[in-house]
Structure 1
């Protein structure tokens, strides 16, 4: 094995969202560490986790995005290997399939990396563009809302155990979550194709892991929106403004801005910051939020706090649920499904 040999180059497109006249495509170029998420074994899973967070980024390299109609867009990755295309393009709706998905190809446009890719230097990306039949959108947290992570556990050991030592397809979703989300996606008529947005505090390094989990457990396809990885060893040296909103909150506000005529259902858990974020959003946009569903967590102090927040809250309907059954019943009463 040659220690100086570079790994093959790859592009990981993140499933994003856009409109009929606005293209928003995001992803990352990095070296292919040959991560096989289906492999088993304690040491193997530990090694995969190391490679997942120790990626070698491909910075400042030229990429070429190709739309189904042959239109091409040139873009360059930034100093973290990310690419972002955020521009107005008319008539994108003509390129969208029945599920509201616009598929595209992206490839290296730099000779240094063209020859270092597996296959034919074509990577598939997707952008969710809501159908005109959509009645509302669903914005959902991931951690402890659809998948148990253990964020409320002491010292966060359960988070480490679940994320590093459990394969994505073996992670068990919270009971009834997939069926509930598919029912919301289909809506009351059964063919509304209501868009789903999965938003998490998790880093982009977990994108393929979460994508595999959602697919394996038959959740409806939707945009997966994460954040940049922050090294916990250096985080304390970076000062942030107390007025700065969490990345998840910024993303939700951007979704509302992107679809000004669409109302939304917010789904989260009671363990971390979802209650505070959702209340602030509902207070700012009460006419846009149809309901808030908060999954209860096994943490007495946190639940006491959350129940206090919503005890006399009347701006929008809020339901604290133990499982998806209560949420389904409420959604039927409200006419969402």
Structure 2
């Protein structure tokens, strides 16, 4: 039995692989499995005999037909063209984010095995004029190509679940902050950059107003929630498989205040305002807070506060850091909210 992770070479994908293996070693896997197959354009960085890397185009029906077989018990579909890239290259985004998603679901359908499918969606499916706190039943109204294509993916996953072809779980992830490394093509990449770069002694632009409210999750909490999504029984989620994954609601100004508390005035001084209308058009259309009590009751988690979120970056990605996610109090069940 195997689990497939598209985007398994990426930041979140590789960490999902690691936590799945940790759970397996602890005798508590979210579903029974023996192998993890990473489908990506690069090798999965997790060195483990139980991980097999398949390097190729995850939108290729031929590749998916070969790898998505009747012994697949779970699929994580993380691979996607991100928000900035989707605005720049509509055709590529359509091929990967829509055609690739449908090809993956069709491959799963053909097995007859009804695997659990965890599809990572985004806050970008929302737009228009949402309420201050978005309820679970609020309808999608995307204001970007990325959001529109993720909304299409959500409908596909839900329909394939309704028909009994897969057991889908749609995870609308908060903006992940603070990521290590360099900026990526996501419009929200600055939410990591305005913390990461100053803590590393580098200048960072802030492209949005300080009052911009964001829905954030640390990498630890996001990975714990993705693993929980595979584990929770489908009937507990309900007929509509869309889930607003828990996060914390923080303004950009509050992030900068926390940066100063943790990194000092010198770090805060390295952030300068650099308004970017293209980024604002995307990010400022996203809601800044969601109703997630039911998700917490289902065992999903969230971070304690913005200071802990930033300290996690220091703990996990500074030299010598890297305890397993499950050892952190910030990946605790709802009764022990992080």
TM-score (norm 2): 0.24
More helix by share: 2
More strand by share: 1
Point out the structure with max Rg over C-alpha. Answer: 1
